A and B are shown apart, each in its own frame.
Chain A
Amino acid sequence: MKFLKWLTNIDRRIIFLLMIGVVLVPMLFTIPIPFEVGEPVRKAFNAIDTLKPGSVIMFSVDYDATSYPECQPMIVAITNHAFRKDLRIILLGHIPTGLPLGQEAVERGAAEYNQNHEAEYQQAVEHAGEELDKYTAGYQEALKTAAAEFNQEYTLQHQETLDSLVFHYLEEVDSAAIKFQKHIFEYWKAVQYAGEEFNRHAAEYQKILKGDVREQNPGYVRILERAAAEYNKHITEYQEALEHAADQYLKRYGIDFVNLGYRPGMVPIIVGMGREIRDFYRQDYQNINVDSLPMMVGVHNYDDVAILASFAHGIQVETWIAFAGARFGQQIIGGVTGVVAPDLYPYLQSGQLAGFLGGLKGASEYESLIERKGLATRGMPAQSTAHILVIILIVIGSIAEFAMDLAERRRRR
């Protein structure tokens, strides 16, 4: 009896230490664990996996740092998946102190994607450059022959000036592309500037070309111009190849993802976005007009959003379901903390929710589906040991309780 008394009145700080121990120890080792993927997570995964490339997926950041360890791996994993499937992400949030978490996840996700595909991108750029070089060589050869034929040395010199202009221009574009991967507008500004510079120089060049040569040697100019036209086509191709490579291997702000920022008042915004997103989000988080973001062209309301993913630690997913889901038929998935997950099962059964990720386990299941091990997978062993500790504590506590109850009854009798 005394033992039992002692056992149940043990200083709680000892239990606290035990808890730290069971979480800390497995964390120090990486234990690979295979596990099954539950129904809700598989459904959520399929909903995203079957979307057409280019579809828009809306992320709503409805959690804050109090649920960081649970919801962050989810948004990271789904960002990764979305970028891989070439989906475009609209980020917004309904919790002021939570939005930066989503922003970090998506921007880091884009950076990670870009880094993973950097080699491919560089390769594509180089390949395009080589293709162009091939033509350049041929082109210059043709020019030289023509020049020799017409004894026009000085025009060759002019032509080289133009070439160097073109290359200077392309270099500018290239470096702008690398420098402003995230900020598409800066990029465009740089390209535009390079273009204007080029035009100015080219205009001067044209004057010389027209003035001097045309009169003296129309035949030569014709050859020159035809060669240039041919070359020009290849520059276009080069340009297109660059743009294509960027599309394929780079995730850029404004094209592949946007951040609309925070607006207060959840329900009115959810309802209002069914009509027009711009009524609430006229500008993105850095005051750029939404209309000038390329990916927002043609995205006006839920009709243009394939899936809404709400990462939430409260009733937010239910709010999305009640307003965006019921009223506008928006397909919704959830990424929620363990506390919220049981609330969502009725909606899964009724088909109002396409799927959801519940807690760290849900996140780790998603990570296993996209084959990218993140924080959740690494946390799972510690999660298991802590569960076992809690179970053991409940059982010991209960058994002690039973014994004391019996003793109490005996005493009373």
Chain B
Amino acid sequence: MVLVYLTALLFAQPVSDANAATPVVLRPVENLRTQDTPNDAGQSIDLSWKLSPDSARVKRYEVYRAQSAKGPFEKIVEFLVPTTAYTDADTLLRNKKDYYYRVDVVGELESRASCEIAGPVQTKPEWFNTNRIPVLVFALVYGLLLILYIEFAKRDREMFVRRIAGLDAIDEAVGRSTEMGKPILFSFGIGYLTDVATLAALSILRRVARRAAEYETRILVPNYDPIVMTAAQETVKQAFSEAGRPDLYQEGDITFLTADQFGYAAGVNGIMLREKPGTVFLQGVFYAEALILAETAHSVGAIQIAGTNMATQLPFFIAACDYTLIGEELFAASAYLDRDPQLLGSLKSEDIAKLITVGLIVVVSVVGTIGAVLTSISGESGILRSLTEFFNSGFERLVSFLTTS
């Protein structure tokens, strides 16, 4: 600003004369094409062109736009490096109006050459993004499967779900605790009732509590969250009634400890050291306290049956516990035990989707493999050659089908 002022204050410099040498003739860019950008909200036009044969001498490329073939053309962008495409997404562009484009090359001494004017081209918004068809197909198929199977499950609650090893171990572990005359300890970790894993753990607790009632064994459930505690009390009470032993139910065994992570771990540790449980169930949502609990349980010689969907804690559970329900196994176990149509239906439709996925991977990979093997053995021509091309292009097409943007 000051400089502007200074310049105004003191006279401007006389402009030095440009050398009036003759400009070298340049050839323009070729094959300028314009197209409405596909799959967008409009207000965007794709341009593409081929470089000028003299591209080595081109200093810059300038793109012009006009609303009529006669002009006036207005420069919208310039490139200092060889460029062959541009998307004009100027917010000034209006849908359903004609536009014309021109690309100039500028060389030494401002010599320039314009290509043929391209246009008219219109830009318009699309109703459907065709790039995303695979997503739509998958969502529809999967959603349909899901609804279908939930309906099936409502009618047929005995839908098959395979038994899971950790579940088989429940009865055995409860039995062993009884033999040794020791109580059972069940921990939900530090999850809340909104966690799916906590809900799944509740159905496992129901099973455990029922067995415990049948064997007349005490079951201790120290809790991190008061709401989960209430749910656990309900569950155990109900299970004891179902087993015909409501008299054995002791509310004092299902307690609220504390709502802080390590405080909870320390509390459960204390209970384990005092009561020396014969079996410890660690089911639900676990974070860092998993290690502390598993270690103490192991040191008091308890059988441990763990289950969580927390990927970071699973390795430790597997290394330290006798049985571990891994992620989805926990949910499958609860579907198996509870026979809730929602869970069963989801499980089934997921299984179908898994089969489809596996099938897809196998088919495409086999096609790709055949193509690759043929490529390495086939010659320049002949039937083998065309077969090779068939497989290779098929593979490419199958792979690119899943590409979305």
- Which residues of A approach B to under 8 Å, CB–CB? 9, 12, 169, 192, 194-195, 198-199, 202, 206, 225-226, 228-229, 232-233, 235-236, 239, 326-327, 329, 339, 343
Contact = CB atoms under 8 A, between A and B. Distances in A.
A232 B2 contact: no
Interface stretch (B10-18, B46-54, B100-108, B345-353): B10-18
Q: Chain A interface secondary structure, helix, strand, loop or mixed?
A: helix
Given A192-B1, A232-B3, A329-B405, A225 B10 contact: yes
Contacts of A329: 405
A339 B312 contact: yes
24 contacts: A9-B299, A169-B2, A192-B1, A194-B2, A195-B1, A195-B5, A199-B2, A199-B5, A202-B5, A202-B6, A202-B9, A206-B9, A226-B11, A229-B11, A229-B12, A229-B13, A232-B6, A232-B7, A232-B10, A235-B6, A236-B3, A239-B3, A326-B404, A343-B311
Nearest to B6: A232
Interface in B250-284: none
A236 B311 CA distance: 63
Interface string B1-38: 11101110111110000000000000000000000000
Contacts of A225: 10-11
Nearest to B2: A195
* A-B pairs with lowest CB-CB distance, top 3: A228-B10, A195-B2, A229-B10
Nearest to B89: A303
Contacts of B3: 232, 235-236, 239
A229 B299 CA distance: 90
Given A199-B2, A228-B9, 10 more contacts: A9-B299, A169-B2, A192-B1, A198-B5, A199-B1, A225-B10, A229-B12, A232-B10, A327-B405, A339-B312
A225 B8 CA distance: 11
Interface hub of A229, A239, A343 (most chain B Cβ within 10 A) = A229
Interface string B284-307: 000000000001000100000000
Nearest to B135: A326
Nearest to B405: A329
A226 B311 CA distance: 78
How many interface residues does chain B have, given as a range?
A: 10 to 19
A228 B10 CA distance: 7
Contacts, number: 41
A12 B269 CA distance: 14
A206 B10 CA distance: 10
B317 to A, nearest CB: 15
Contacts of A235: 3, 6
Contacts of B13: 229, 233
Nearest to A231: B10
Contacts of B299: 9
B2 A198 contact: yes
A260 to B, nearest CB: 23
Nearest to B13: A229
A97 to B, nearest CB: 16
Nearest to B12: A229
A194 B1 CA distance: 11
Contacts of A228: 9-10
> Among the interface residues B2, B7, B404, B405, which one has the most CB atoms of the partner chain A within 10 A?
B2
Contacts of B10: 225, 228-229, 232
A327 B2 CA distance: 48
A185 B355 CA distance: 60
A195 B187 CA distance: 72
B270 to A, nearest CB: 15
Nearest to A398: B319
Contacts of A199: 1-2, 5
A195 B4 CA distance: 11
Nearest to B295: A12
A329 B131 CA distance: 13
A192 B13 CA distance: 25
Nearest to A337: B312
Contacts of A239: 3
A161 B40 CA distance: 63
A232 B8 CA distance: 11
A236 B2 CA distance: 10
A187 to B, nearest CB: 14
Contacts of A9: 299
A355 B90 CA distance: 34
B287 to A, nearest CB: 11
A275 to B, nearest CB: 10
B319 to A, nearest CB: 9
B43 to A, nearest CB: 13
A1 to B, nearest CB: 16
Nearest to A169: B2
Nearest to A328: B405
B139 to A, nearest CB: 14
Interface centre among A194, A198, A232 (most CB of B within 10 A): A232
A9 B9 CA distance: 91
Contacts of A339: 312
A326 B405 CA distance: 6
Contacts of A202: 5-6, 9
